[in-house]
Amino acid sequence: MARIIQLCIGLFFSAQLVAQFSAPQVQWNTYSVLQDDTSYLLVFEASIDKDWYIFSQTSPEGGSQPAFFDFTENKRYRRIGKVEETTPEPYYNAVFGVTEQIFRESARFEQRIEIIDPIDRIEVSLYFQVCKEVCISAAEDFVFILNDTAPLDQTNISVDDTLKSSDELLIEVKNKSLLTIGNPEATSSLWKLVLFGFLGGLIALFTPCVLPLIPLTVSYFNQRTTLKGLAFFYGLAIVVLYLLVGLPFVLGNQADPQLFNEVASHPVTNFLLFSILLVFALSFITGVDITLPQRWINFTDQRSERSKGLLSVFFMAATLVLLSFSCTGPILGGVLGTLATQSMSESFGLSLFVVLGSFGLALAIPFVLFALFPKALQRLPRSGTWMVDLKFFLGIAELLLAFKFLSNTDLVAQWSFFKYEVIISIWIAISLVALIYLIVRFVHRPEGRFFRGVIIIVLGFFLIVSIRALKEPVSGGYLNTFAPPLYYSLNSSAKECPLGLDCYRSLDEGLAAAKKLSKPLLLDFTGYSCVNCRRMESEVWSDPRIYKLLKERFVVVSLYVDDRSPLEASKNGLYQLPNGRTKTIRTQGQYWSLFQAVNFESISQPYYIVLSDDLALLNGAIQFASKPQFLAWLTDALVNDLKTN
């Protein structure tokens, strides 16, 4: 169990949880070799940049993530044995305290396959890490053409024979210059992220794992007068350590931006997030701390004692970060989990970087100020039962959030188990049990009653809103932002449209209807797991004026970028992208995500476009907006449509 929890935590703080990309530090060459009439040898050759390395397919207990080959399921062939690899070199990882197996400069992997029925191509995905000072999670898609026996460069495959061009997705959009009109909410988004992360850091500051460390840190600086002047560097080191978590995302700016959408909305990713948040929540609720391996803490503590000056202060900050993980980890997990529910965007790496920096800054400022002004410690709140109640409340909040990701898993995987009423009922049960527990404590434990009473009021309000939403879903308000879509209820299917509107799931069908009805076309790029999409539908689209316009004056086409339904054969395949790379498109969601990127140079959701029936843009694109902004945007589009007719 401990190994599973460590693995979940490690995955959560690794780049691959929310984004994987092609690593430019590793160049791959693949080819197939015909061995006899029914078997082939698939060869993967890697050329690795100087000073970089990748891991082998095996990893010792507590070590790094190994390389993993994912073969697309196909009954026309079978694998003979496992993927073989050349001999790796041993590498001692001081952080994990284990000896791992790595490849430098080059690596070769081989897989034998037996052909059962005729097949001309085999698709394989590779998930691996490439490391130097930091490790970057990466993914590569390979396509083997079985009638070739010579080395095959993936970027030079004949387009006519094996590739489709992404230009096939282009539509002749007129007035495309209107796309430069910005989103009305974009200017304030950065500050919202800063405040979001800072608030999470402030909450973590008042937990029993962090608050008691402030006096200890101040005492450390006061006893070592030579270090007192380095208090600012101590705070900076804390911020830098949290920023390192998001560094792989920033380094991945050459990645395929669509891949984040696919990974973030994948059922496995959402179920993993559910599992991690569930573990974190139970840790806070039960009081059983989740701690990082003791050897990590011992390592940083010993380095702090043996080092001098800036290096000593840096390792002291690292010790603080590791020691406080049992409280900051669950809170940071909740913060990043909430961020992951927001609109899927190509700027996610930057958003994550900003949130992590703000979180670290909120933790660092008090340590720096109290180190400089130690007499202010007398005003610091004392530990008490309020800390226990705070941890319990945070655990309940994280537990409620965890079921949001279970709902996402159900939606995307189309299990049809956790529909709107089921999730709301689970939330009601959780909040009701928590309320009963807190009320009993309120009656029998007089100390800390004020803070406990505030929590009771907050949970009571949430319970009332949840019960109202169960009886009348449209009254859920902001609650519906995190709940499944209103149309995903026990009495309907996932293929219905937001708020009961008439909509289409295909551009061709929607365009045909627009021409027949002489109405403009509203393209709604959305996602099952997109929280801001749900907010737009429940808070903005539900406005009577906006709803009437959408129902009577527009043809709505909802295109789900995380729809994992199989794509029709004529559109399925390997696509050559404008940057020269290739991408395998297998699902409806992958196709519409690429369609959005190719035609409108964006992969964010929600994303709305209004076109005339002859594909002329009637307004600029808009994303998350207020009711007045969205209403004005729709009205302007209708006016422009009248002018062109």
The mean pLDDT of 436-450, rounded to a whole number, is: 88
Structure tokens at 628: 């007045």
Q: How do beta strands 89-93 and 98-104 pair? A: antiparallel
Domain with residue 611: its CATH number is 3.40.30.10
List pLDDT tens digits, range 460-472: 999 999 999 888 8
Among residues 594, 585, 537, 584, which one has the least CA distance to residue 561? 594
CA angle 47, 50, 56 (to 5 degrees): 55
Which is higher by pLDDT, 395 or 339? Answer: 395
> Which has more confidence, 324 or 601?
601
Asked, for residue 339, whether it belongs to a domain, the answer is: no
pLDDT at 64 over 50: yes
Q: Give the pLDDT score at 331.
A: 63
Q: What local confidence, expressed as pLDDT, does residue 166 receive?
A: 79
At 349 the pLDDT is 62
User: Among 392, 217, 242, 244, which residue's Cα sits nearest to residue 316?
Assistant: 217
The answer to whether residues 277 and 283 touch, using CB atoms and an 8 Å cutoff, is no
Residues 564-578 have a mean pLDDT of 79
Higher-pLDDT residue of 119, 493: 119
**How many whole angstroms from its chain centre is CA 103?**
29
Rounded to an integer, the average pLDDT of 161-178 is: 78
Domain extent at residue 616: 498-644
What pLDDT band is residue 494 in, cutting at 50, 70 and 90? very low
Mean pLDDT, residues 185-214: 69
pTM of the model: 0.58
Mean model confidence pLDDT for the chain = 77
Q: Which whole number is the average pLDDT over 166-178?
A: 84
**pLDDT, average across residues 177-198:** 65
In a domain, 601, yes or no: yes
Single out the residue in 88, 121, 155 at which a domain terminates: 155
Q: How confident is the model at residue 18 (pLDDT cuts 50, 70, 90)?
A: very low
Q: Is the pLDDT of residue 448 over 90?
A: no
The residues pairing with 33 across neighbouring beta strands, listed in sequence order, are 41
pLDDT of residue 149: 43
pLDDT digits (tens, 9 = 90+) for 39-60: 889 999 999 988 889 999 987 8
| Preceding peptide of 606 cis, ω within 30° | yes
Q: Which has the higher per-residue pLDDT, 115 or 320? A: 115
In this structure, of 75-89, 147-161, 171-185, the range with the lowest mean pLDDT score is: 147-161
Indicate whether 96 pLDDT > 50.
yes
Please report the pLDDT score of residue 22 as a whole number: 54
Tokens of 62: 């507590």
Answer yes or no: are the C-beta atoms of 538 and 477 closer than 8 Å: yes
Banded model confidence at residue 7, pLDDT cuts 50, 70, 90? very low
**Residue 459 pLDDT greater than 90, yes or no:** yes
Give the contacts of 56 (CB within 8 A, at least 6 positions apart): 66, 67, 85, 88, 100, 101, 102, 103
Quick one: pLDDT at residue 608? 92
Q: Could you report the per-residue pLDDT of 248-285, keeping only the tens digit for each?
A: 655 554 445 555 556 666 777 778 878 887 887 888 78
Among the three residues 155, 185, 208, which one is the final residue of a domain in this structure? Answer: 155
Task: Report whether pLDDT(342) > 60.
Answer: no
* Neighbour order of strands in the sheet with 164-165: 164-165, 573-576, 582-585
Closest CA to 32 of 165, 159, 104, 124: 124
Given pLDDT bands bounded at 50, 70 and 90, which one contains residue 19? Answer: very low
Least confident segment among 116-125, 357-366, 371-380, 514-523:
371-380
Alpha helices in 258-384 (DSSP H): 258-264, 267-286, 294-306, 309-323, 325-340, 348-372
Q: Name which of 12, 1, 47, 55 is nearest 28 in CA terms.
A: 47
If you average pLDDT over residues 598-624, what whole number do you get?
86
Q: Is residue 619 over pLDDT 70?
A: yes
Query: Would you give the DSSP letter of residue 67?
Result: P
Check whether 625 has a pLDDT greater than 80.
yes
Q: Alpha-carbon distance 192 to 528, whole Å? A: 24
Least confident of 138-142, 186-190, 263-267, 415-419: 186-190
Last residue of a domain, which of 120, 155, 190?
155
For residues 372-394, average pLDDT: 71
Cα dihedral value 218, 221, 223, 226, nearest 10:
-160
164-181 burial by CB neighbour count: b if 16+ within 10 A, else e?
bebeebeeeeebeebbee
The most distant pair of C-alpha atoms in the chain lies apart, rounded to whole Å, by 83
- pLDDT band for position 609 (cuts 50, 70, 90): very high
CB atoms within 10 A of CB 285: 18
HSE, CB side, 13 Å, CA atoms: give it for residue 565: 14
- Number of domains within the chain: 2
In a domain, 37, yes or no: yes
Tell whether the model's pLDDT for residue 148 goes beyond 50.
Answer: no
- Going by the DSSP 8-state scheme, the letter that residue 565 receives in this structure is S
Q: How confident is the model at residue 542 (pLDDT cuts 50, 70, 90)?
A: confident
Percent of the chain with pLDDT over 90: 18
Decide which of 251 and 503 is more confident.
503
Banded model confidence at residue 205, pLDDT cuts 50, 70, 90: confident
Residue 313 has pLDDT above 90, yes or no: no
Predicted pLDDT of residue 347: 58
CATH number at residue 106: 2.60.40.1250
The answer, yes or no, to whether residue 108 has pLDDT greater than 70, is: yes
Place of tokens 């160049």: 27
Indicate whether 406 pLDDT > 50. Answer: yes
- The whole-number average pLDDT for the span 228-240 is 77
More confident residue, 478 or 472: 472
Nearest to 593 by CA among 340, 348, 253, 344: 344
Q: Name, of 98-112, 154-168, 393-407, the range with top average pLDDT.
A: 98-112
Helix spans in 373-495 (H): 385-413, 420-444, 449-471, 479-482
Residue-by-residue DSSP string for 253-277: TTS-THHHHHHHT-HHHHHHHHHHH
Query: What is the pLDDT confidence band of residue 4, given thresholds at 50, 70 and 90?
Result: very low
Per mean pLDDT, which range of 270-274, 327-331, 510-514, 582-586 is the poorest? 327-331
